[in-house]
């Protein structure tokens, strides 16, 4: 299956951002992509650099205007399209939500970000409620979304640091792991620290591919975004979007600084082959893992 990961710069013009995304998705479809992944919160600037209640005006319902536009695009192009939106679920209840639009334009499912960071420049706990541990129908919050191109284990940004999230998606039958992302450098850090951070980010996600025998798709932002109130350093998003195979091998990788339509061909049958020679699921000691449900083992 041919897949595409979209890496793009953003501005404060919401409509321009959307049109830019649409143009890049069209490019991906022209190159034969059947599954296209957009980056985290692709509709706007990364507004979580400050705690500003006016930013809640950016939120929208799901279904809503963006899912309608993305669904129409998916139907027109005959692709499965994964977007990332600031969801207003109810008054005072907001989520960082990824959406999946099917080839026929329908909303195949949503995933609400489970792990919410709170760090300088990434004040997401102010804006986002964590996703539900279980949906109303009893499914786990870590449930793949079934589509015509496979079961998508969709996770978002900070989720990518947690092996538990990737494992639970794999155990629930995910065929691929997908991570829409917005991560970058603090300009105050030196070059060595910047490189360590980026390398760690790449390594942990390649490890999820290896540990679960699944392909991984990662879409990150690129470009510099100033702090909205001009009090912070701003963030230079480090790009480096990539697609990895089930042994962590790079199938495609973007650079740090450029808008990119990253194309890769993913052989889903390789997961079966790899899991036969590295049967991690077979050898898991589930009888000995009870302490994983504790915050810390005192």
Catalytic-labelled residue, pool 34, 40, 102, 124: 40
Catalytic-labelled residue, pool 87, 102, 113, 198: 113
Q: Is 55 a catalytic residue?
A: no
Q: Is 249 a catalytic residue?
A: no
Catalytic-labelled residue, pool 88, 157, 198, 225: 157
As a three-state string, the secondary structure of the chain is: CEEEEEECCCCCCHHHHHHHHHHHHHHHHHCCCCEEECCCCCCCCCHHHCCCHHHHHHCECCCCHHHHHHHHHHHHHCCEEEEEEEEEEECCEEEEEEEEECCCCCEEEEEECCCCCCECCECHHHCCCCCCCECCCCCECCCCEEECCEEEEECCHHHHHCHHHHHHHHHCCCCEEEEECCCEECCCCCHHHHHHHHHHHHHHHHHHHHHHCCCEEEECCEEEECCCCCCCCCEEEECCCEEECCCCCEEEECCCCCCEEEEEECCCHHHHHHHHHCCHHHHCCHHHCHHHHCCCCC
Q: Is 113 a catalytic residue?
A: yes
* Catalytic site positions: 40, 113, 157
């Amino acid at each position: 299956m041919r897949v595409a990961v979209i890496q793009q710069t953003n501005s404060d013009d919401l409509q321009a951002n959307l049109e830019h995304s649409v143009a890049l998705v069209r490019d991906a479809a022209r190159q034969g992509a059947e599954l296209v992944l957009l980056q985290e919160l692709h509709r706007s600037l990364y507004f979580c650099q400050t705690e500003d209640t006016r930013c809640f005006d950016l939120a929208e319902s799901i279904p809503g205007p963006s899912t309608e536009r993305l669904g129409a695009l998916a139907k027109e192009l005959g692709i499965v399209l994964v977007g990332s939106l600031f969801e207003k679920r109810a008054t005072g209840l907001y989520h960082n939500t990824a959406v999946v639009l099917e080839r026929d334009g329908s909303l195949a499912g949503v995933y609400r970000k489970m792990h919410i960071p709170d760090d300088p420049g990434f004040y997401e706990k102010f804006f986002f409620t964590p996703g539900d541990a279980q949906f109303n129908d009893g499914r786990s919050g870590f449930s793949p979304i079934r589509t015509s191109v496979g079961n998508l284990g969709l996770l978002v940004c900070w989720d990518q640091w947690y092996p538990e999230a990737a494992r639970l998606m794999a155990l629930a039958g995910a065929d691929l792991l997908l991570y829409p992302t917005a991560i970058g450098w603090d300009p105050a850090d030196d070059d060595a620290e910047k490189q360590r951070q980026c390398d760690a980010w790449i390594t942990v996600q390649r490890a999820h591919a290896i540990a679960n025998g699944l392909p991984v798709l990662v879409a990150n932002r690129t470009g510099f975004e100033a702090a909205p109130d001009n009090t912070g350093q701003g963030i230079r998003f480090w790009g480096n979007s990539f697609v990895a195979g089930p042994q962590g091998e790079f199938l495609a990788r973007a650079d740090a600084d450029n808008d990119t339509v990253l194309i890769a061909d993913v052989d889903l049958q390789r997961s079966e082959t790899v899991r036969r020679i590295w049967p991690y699921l077979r050898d898991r000691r589930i009888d000995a893992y009870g302490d994983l449900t504790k915050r810390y083992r005192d």
